[in-house]
Amino acid sequence: MGEFFGTDGIRGRANQYPLTADMAVRIGRAIGIIFGDANGGPPIIIGRDTRRSGNMLESAVAAGICSSGTNVLLARIIPTPGIAFLTRHHGAAAGVVISASHNPYEDNGIKLFNQDGVKLSDREETQIETLIREDASDSLKEALGNQVGAIQTMKGSRKNYLAFLLRSLPSDFSLDGMKIVLDCSNGAASAVAPSLFDSLGADLTVLHNEPNGTNINHQCGSEHPEDLRRSVLESDADLGLAFDGDGDRLIAVDESGSIISGDQLLAIGARFLHRRGQLWNDVLVSTVMSNIGLKEALQSIGIRHAASDVGDRYVMEKLTDLEAALGGEDSGHIIYRAYHTTGDGLLSALKLVEAMQEEERPLSDMAKFMTVYPQTLVNVPVNEKPDLRTLAPVKDAIHKAEQNLGDRGRVLVRYSGTQPMCRVMVEGPTEEMAANCANDIAIAIADAIGT
């Protein structure tokens, strides 16, 4: 991670550094210089979620790109994976998304895709950071008159994205008779998910699809599936599907009201592809945060597990290296690489219901394939991010927990790449033991560097 970029783009409180309007112009200018072409080359596409600050940052980033001499196409409100698709589909120079994903509405961010619809490498982010710091406005004297970039609104962006999603299914696929509850998190999925599932004939109940600029992710969506769970039980639905604010995550609820995590969805997807002979090289990629039960489930049917760093761009890098077809995170970022280049909550939802129909089993039964080990995750707000190995009390607390757990669990402590937090994850043989170990470590962190 650099000065501006975290694990998923540039993120922070909107209208505060580094996400002020003037900084967004500088960021846009840097993007235009790195990816654009001042000689009438392909444009850069920008999309956003439903946050109040989205218009401000979209306009500022677009202005910066135009100042580099590169044209801009505005896709307006659309899920993040929609921009990845449109960038590839239209041969754009790059794709930009104004979104802070699952964060509260006060936050916002800038995510980037290269011309192949893939999130940027560390090298590309470093190049952009250098230009942001230097503010390259003096080098743009040639972008004058008709060399200044123009801004146009893209027509049919959501329609094209929906058509792309439907192409991932058999032409005769139907959800007639299936009762589904959707939670759109008052975010970008509100504009596409109901239309997608309605077009397939599902009996729909739709929650949290009335964004007002300030209700995105508020007690809803993949981070807060309580309303979804309630609605599934009340409506006797077959399943519930929850997306996050920018539509790149999926969390499900089965017909009994149990929450199905990203790891469980990966296990179901891996078995589905494996049975079809479509799990390339019989390997699945997930991050170091994945539950131990995922690896055990995969091993039981001869699938190899490979671990990546946290962040779906690192999952994608590992998928590419291993020529693998499926990977993701427990948070619900899932990449079906035969179809897409990034995590896509709507695509993952379609693959889940396709697997359910093929196996003709309820989701609760399918989820039993993976045993979920008790896991406790504690987020500790911090005011700085020093190397944890230099904090003796924290190091001692981690060592003590690992000794207590032995080979019956594991400990993972890492800083968030998108927020001022340290995440403590402990898996153990019982919920009580995992919680006690995690809390002891969290207290040590809070005492050392907590806010």
Which residues does the annotation mark as catalytic? 101
Same domain? 327 vs 401: no
Q: CATH number for the domain including 326?
A: 3.40.120.10
Residues 329 and 380 in one domain: no
Query: Is there a single domain that holds both residue 140 and residue 217?
Result: no
Q: Is 89 within a domain?
A: yes
**pLDDT in single tens digits along all 451 residues of the chain:** 578 998 889 999 999 999 999 999 999 999 999 999 867 789 999 999 999 999 999 999 999 999 999 999 999 999 999 999 999 999 999 999 999 999 999 999 999 999 999 999 989 999 999 999 887 665 565 677 888 999 999 999 999 999 999 999 999 999 999 999 999 999 999 999 999 999 999 999 999 999 999 999 999 999 999 999 999 999 999 999 999 999 999 999 999 999 999 999 999 999 999 999 999 999 999 998 899 899 999 999 999 999 999 888 899 999 999 999 999 999 999 999 999 999 999 999 999 999 999 999 999 999 999 999 898 999 999 999 999 999 999 999 999 999 999 877 889 999 987 788 999 999 988 999 999 999 999 999 999 999 8
- Domain membership flag for residue 292: yes
Last residue of a domain, one of 250, 273, 295: 250
Q: What is the pLDDT of residue 403?
A: 94
Is there a domain that residue 118 lies in?
Answer: yes
Helix (H, G, I), strand (E, B) or coil at 253: strand
User: CA of 144: how far to CAs of 26, 38, 39, 44, 63, in Å?
Assistant: 17, 10, 12, 19, 14
Q: Is residue 351 part of a domain?
A: no
- Of 134, 156, 178, which residue constitutes the final position of a domain? 156
Say if residues 187 and 243 touch (Cβ distance below 8 Å).
Answer: yes
Residues 166 and 194 in one domain: yes
Total number of domains in the chain: 4
In which region does residue 290 sit, left (phi positive, over 0), alpha (psi from -120 to 50) or beta (all else)?
Answer: beta
Q: Assess contact for 259 and 253: CB atoms under 8 A.
A: yes
Q: What pLDDT, on a 0 to 100 scale, did the predictor assign at position 1?
A: 59
CB 241 within 8 A of CB 184: no
Residues 434 and 419 in one domain: yes
197 and 267 fall within a common domain: no
Domain end marker among 140, 156, 172 = 156
The whole model's pTM is what? Answer: 0.89
Q: Has residue 149 been placed in a domain?
A: yes
- On whether both 11 and 138 belong to a single domain, the answer is yes
The answer to whether position 76 is within a domain reads: yes
**Does a structural domain hold residue 358?**
no
Q: In what order do the strands lie in the sheet with 326-328?
A: 304-308, 283-287, 326-328, 334-336
Whether 391 and 338 map to the same domain: the answer is no
Q: Which residue has the tokens 């401000």?
A: 56
Q: Are residues 169 and 149 in the same domain?
A: no
420-424's contacts with Cβ under 8 Å and 24+ in sequence apart are 420/381, 420/382, 420/383, 420/385, 420/451, 421/379, 421/380, 421/381, 421/382, 422/379, 422/380, 422/382, 422/385, 422/388, 422/449, 423/377, 423/378, 423/379, 423/380, 424/376, 424/377, 424/378, 424/379, 424/380
Domain region containing 290: 260-346+363-367
Same domain, 224 and 87: no
**Quick one: 179 and 141 in the same domain?**
no
Whether residues 33 and 130 fall in one domain? yes
